[in-house]
């Protein structure tokens, strides 16, 4: 047995390590990991951990020096025990079982070997005996092997950037434009110090005269191979893989006059072929380009934001998700991430941490044999009306069943009016529970009514409950356990209609398909009286999701959440025509032929409205009696609202409504 606590078996020229059970405590060769000098500065910038020997080396020098110090320590211990020195092969084997660390004021960064992630995880777990888990981070997050291991451990929260509002992302990108000596053709990262050169900005240099073009090409060639004080390249080609060598820029900059333009055109073609099409244009209105540029500006190269597509999330939605500590299942046992109790972000509120834990429990119970669960809190849509009352918590859950080929994404939305909200208004516990059950039934009835009237909703939605401890304003019931209802549905992969970029709409085929579907969605929306309590229609506000086909053209518009439906159930149906026209006008800016777009929208609207009206006429008895078993209350029960909405549908004149919309669209 070596002094390291690992048996080394040499057989057929191979070194095999028999790893022991983990022991408590860590041994330090050098100063403590987070040691500081008299001025409060960290003494250690780098460190090396040997997880299976429970040893951290912090002696001054590079990582290789620290590995040598560890081997020297082992040989000293062996000499004291009258054991021979480790052989060269044994020393190499011991060194292989180490992990590089970087020490910062914010904590420790692990630099894993992506091919030995079990070793990095062992180091991670040992470091958690010294530091809170949220202060231990990883490099090489751009490597899928690293991301995959963390994701499978229920640790998506350690991979992705915190959620950021769209306006802030745009501000950061706009402020990042910078120059070196010539024009401001770069985006500067304040984190890495790297200047990012996009394909579009390179291609725009073709508009310069020959002399200025040469200056810029020489500048790029000069700075591309250089590294700054952070060890990052001074210039990188944004999303180019593999990158164009700097020597080719130098060659173009110094070539004879008649070769300049052909050489430059060749460079542009080469880069064009290396950059994915969605990153070939600088477009802050395109969520995928915007979010990836922001991620590169705000992270180190090795820490670049993991591709949201690996989670199945669309780019706009992914930037609104704050991933929280989740859980994994090992040998049938649920292991909740200890960071849940480490007051991480949302978990700073103990009741919120308990809520997330309860959601995880429910998912494990519902889906059975799972591998892992990741849960994230979703920021509200930028178009959400803050005047809406009630609870608005939304979560996304990523679950992987052991026998399933892929992961499943679920959206969890807390019920707007639950026991907590009713207790806050002074209700008794009994009344709050009864009213909450009635409201859950009302929400589900509205969903059925919307489907009956042609609204394209997610196929599956289920109602659940999670226990919480009440800690609201109703002093009488503080500390009481209550059960809060929520609704769970599949995640819809696509883009919110309010997020469709002008670049997409510039494609006539895309614009026409979108306009037709948009008109159909507007018809159902108008029929079911979807509105704010203030009376404003709710449409094109983030709930309508465009699902594209394999050719990248709109296939469906699905209404993810039927919030606000049957709010307007008494007024004339044409009242809100101007509000719907405003929604259409928001999309006309990027359309090549606005008149054709308007015509397609009106065609879709009229066709859909007439179809629903005809279906009602054909099956009137079934429609009229759908909610006859529900109580009738003139103040607004579901049965009463249903009656008035059907009566309004029967009396409506779709073509006249379409003409009214047209007049608002063209004024």
What pLDDT digit, counting tens, does each position of 278-308 carry? 899 999 988 889 988 998 888 766 565 555 5
Q: How many beta carbons lie within 10 A of that of residue 100, not counting itself? A: 21
State the pLDDT confidence band at 389, using cuts at 50, 70 and 90. confident
Instruction: Check pLDDT > 50 for residue 6.
Output: no
- Contacts with 627 (C-beta within 8 Å, 6 or more apart), sequence order: 445, 449, 638, 639, 642
The C-alpha atoms of residue 59 and residue 45 are separated, in whole angstroms, by 10
Instruction: Check pLDDT > 50 for residue 442.
Output: yes
Block residue for tokens 């019931």: 477
- Token digits for 266? 């060749």
Q: How many beta carbons lie within 10 A of that of residue 31, not counting itself? A: 16
**Confidence (pLDDT) at 531:** 93
**Proportion of the chain above pLDDT 90, given as a percent:** 65
State the pLDDT confidence band at 246, using cuts at 50, 70 and 90. confident
Q: Are 330 and 358 in contact (CB under 8 A)?
A: no
- Please give the DSSP secondary-structure letter assigned to residue 46: E
Block residue for tokens 């991620």: 295
- Token digits for 615? 């279906």
Assigned CATH topology for domain 495-666: 1.10.1070
What are the distances in angstroms from CA 58 to CA 48, 55, 132, 457? 7, 10, 20, 58
Instruction: Check pLDDT > 80 for residue 77.
Output: yes
Instruction: Check pLDDT > 50 for residue 15.
Output: no
Query: Among 189-198, 373-382, 575-584, 585-594, which stretch is predicted with the lowest mean pLDDT?
Result: 373-382
Q: Are 369 and 363 in contact (CB under 8 A)?
A: no
> What are the tens digits of pLDDT across the range 563-604?
899 999 998 999 889 999 999 999 998 899 999 999 999 999
Q: Are 504 and 510 in contact (CB under 8 A)?
A: yes
Nearest to 609 by CA among 570, 643, 563, 577: 577
Q: Are 110 and 120 in contact (CB under 8 A)?
A: yes
State the pLDDT confidence band at 18, using cuts at 50, 70 and 90. very low
What are the distances in angstroms from CA 440 to CA 157, 417, 487, 501, 623? 32, 9, 9, 36, 22
Block residue for tokens 């350690």: 158
The C-alpha atoms of residue 143 and residue 582 are separated, in whole angstroms, by 45
What are the distances in angstroms from CA 246 to CA 233, 250, 546? 12, 6, 41
Block residue for tokens 């110094």: 254
**Confidence (pLDDT) at 513:** 98
Mean pLDDT of the chain: 88
Q: Are 539 and 518 in contact (CB under 8 A)?
A: no
Question: Domain coordinates of the chain in residue numbers?
Answer: 7-139, 140-160+309-412, 166-303, 415-490, 495-666
The C-alpha atoms of residue 238 and residue 198 are separated, in whole angstroms, by 5
With b for 16 or more beta-carbon neighbours within 10 A and e for fewer, the 306-333 pattern comes to bbbeebebbbbbbbbbbbbbbbbbeeee
At 143, is the secondary structure helix, strand, or coil?
coil
- Token digits for 39? 């001025």
- Contacts with 566 (C-beta within 8 Å, 6 or more apart), sequence order: 446, 449, 528, 529, 530, 638, 641, 642, 645
CA angle 604, 606, 607 (to 5 degrees): 65
The C-alpha atoms of residue 646 and residue 352 are separated, in whole angstroms, by 42
- Token digits for 209? 């005269």
Q: Are 603 and 516 in contact (CB under 8 A)?
A: yes
- Token digits for 278? 């969605």
Block residue for tokens 């390590």: 17
Instruction: Check pLDDT > 70 for residue 19.
Output: no
At 14, is the secondary structure helix, strand, or coil?
strand
Query: Among 175-184, 225-234, 449-458, 529-538, which stretch is predicted with the lowest mean pLDDT?
Result: 225-234
**Confidence (pLDDT) at 98:** 95
- Token digits for 603? 């065609």
What is the average pLDDT across 438-445?
96
The C-alpha atoms of residue 421 and residue 195 are separated, in whole angstroms, by 50
Query: Among 238-242, 442-446, 542-546, which stretch is predicted with the lowest mean pLDDT?
Result: 238-242
Block residue for tokens 């309508």: 544
What are the distances in angstroms from CA 258 to CA 249, 263, 264, 453, 646? 16, 9, 11, 68, 75
Q: Residue 242, preceding bond cis, omega within 30 degrees? A: yes
Strands (E), 151-302: 177-178, 186-188, 195-197, 235-237
State the pLDDT confidence band at 384, using cuts at 50, 70 and 90. low
> What are the tens digits of pLDDT across the range 321-356?
888 888 888 888 899 887 776 544 444 456 778 899
State the pLDDT confidence band at 365, using cuts at 50, 70 and 90. very high
What is the average pLDDT across 385-394?
74
- Contacts with 162 (C-beta within 8 Å, 6 or more apart), sequence order: 322, 345
- Token digits for 481? 């356990």
**Confidence (pLDDT) at 23:** 41
What is the average pLDDT across 162-189?
87
Query: Among 287-301, 425-439, 541-555, which stretch is predicted with the lowest mean pLDDT?
Result: 287-301
At 112, is the secondary structure helix, strand, or coil?
coil
- Contacts with 570 (C-beta within 8 Å, 6 or more apart), sequence order: 644
Cα–chain center distance at 471 = 30
- Token digits for 485? 């209802």
């Amino acid at each position: 047995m070596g002094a390291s606590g690992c048996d080394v078996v040499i057989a057929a020229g191979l070194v095999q390590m028999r790893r022991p059970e983990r022991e408590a405590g860590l041994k330090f060769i050098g100063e403590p990991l987070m040691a500081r000098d008299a001025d409060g500065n960290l003494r250690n910038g780098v460190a090396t951990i040997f997880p299976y020997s429970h040893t951290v080396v912090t002696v001054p020098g590079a990582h290789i020096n620290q590995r040598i110090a560890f081997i020297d320590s082992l040989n000293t211990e062996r000499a004291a025990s009258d054991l021979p020195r480790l052989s060269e092969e044994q020393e190499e084997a011991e060194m292989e079982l180490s992990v590089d660390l970087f020490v910062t004021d914010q904590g420790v960064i692990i630099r894993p070997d992506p091919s030995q992630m079990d070793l990095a995880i062992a180091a991670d777990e040992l470091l958690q005996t010294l530091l809170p888990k949220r202060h231990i981070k990883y490099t090489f997050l751009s490597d899928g092997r690293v991301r995959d291991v963390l994701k499978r451990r229920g640790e998506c929260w350690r991979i992705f950037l915190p959620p950021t509002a769209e306006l802030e992302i745009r501000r950061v990108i706009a402020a990042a434009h910078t120059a070196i000596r010539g024009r401001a053709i770069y985006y500067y990262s304040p984190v890495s110090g790297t200047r990012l050169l996009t394909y579009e900005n390179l291609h725009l240099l073709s508009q310069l005269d020959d002399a200025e073009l040469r200056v810029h090409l020489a500048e790029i060639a000069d700075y591309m191979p250089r590294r700054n004080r952070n060890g990052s390249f001074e210039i990188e080609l944004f999303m180019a893989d593999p990158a164009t060598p700097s020597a080719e820029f130098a060659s173009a900059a110094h070539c004879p006059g008649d070769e300049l333009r052909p050489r430059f055109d060749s460079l542009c073609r080469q880069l064009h072929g290396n950059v994915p099409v969605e990153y070939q244009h600088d477009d802050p209105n395109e969520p995928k380009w915007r979010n990836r540029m922001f991620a590169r500006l705000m992270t180190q190269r090795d820490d670049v934001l993991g591709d949201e597509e690996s989670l199945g999330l669309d780019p706009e939605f992914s930037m609104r998700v704050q991933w929280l500590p989740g859980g994994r299942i090992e040998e049938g046992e649920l292991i909740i991430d200890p960071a849940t109790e480490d007051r991480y972000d949302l978990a700073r509120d103990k009741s919120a941490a308990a809520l997330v834990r309860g959601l995880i429990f429910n998912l494990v119970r519902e889906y059975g044999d799972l591998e892992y669960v990741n849960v994230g809190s979703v920021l509200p849509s930028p178009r959400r009306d803050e005047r809406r009352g009630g609870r608005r918590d939304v979560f996304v859950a990523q679950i992987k069943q052991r026998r399933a080929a892929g992961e499943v994404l679920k959206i969890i939305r807390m019920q707007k009016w639950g026991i907590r909200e009713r207790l806050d208004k002074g209700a008794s516990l009994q009344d709050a529970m009864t009213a909450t059950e009635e409201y859950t039934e009302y929400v589900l009835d509205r969903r059925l009514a919307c489907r009956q009237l042609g609204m394209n909703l997610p196929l599956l939605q289920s109602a659940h409950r999670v226990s919480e401890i009440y800690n609201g304003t109703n002093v009488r019931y503080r500390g009481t356990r209550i059960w809060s209802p929520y609704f769970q549905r599949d995640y819809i992969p696509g883009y919110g209609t309010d997020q469709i970029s002008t670049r997409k709409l510039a494609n006539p085929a895309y614009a026409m398909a979108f306009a037709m579907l948009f008109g159909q969605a507007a018809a159902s929306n108008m029929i079911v009286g979807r509105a704010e309590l203030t009376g404003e229609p709710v449409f094109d506000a983030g709930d309508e999701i465009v699902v594209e086909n394999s050719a990248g053209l709109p296939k469906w518009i699905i209404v993810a959440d039927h919030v606000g439906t049957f709010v307007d159930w008494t007024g004339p149906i044409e009242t809100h025509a101007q509000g719907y026209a405003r929604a259409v006008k928001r999309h006309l800016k990027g359309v090549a032929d606005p008149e054709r777009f308007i015509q397609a929208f009106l065609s879709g609207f009229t066709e859909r409205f007439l179809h629903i009206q005809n279906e009602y006429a054909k099956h009137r008895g079934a429609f009229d009696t759908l909610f006859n078993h529900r109580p009738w209350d003139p103040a607004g029960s579901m049965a009463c609202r249903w009656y008035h909405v059907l009566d309004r549908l029967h009396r409506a004149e779709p073509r006249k409504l379409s003409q009214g919309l047209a007049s608002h669209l063209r004024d």
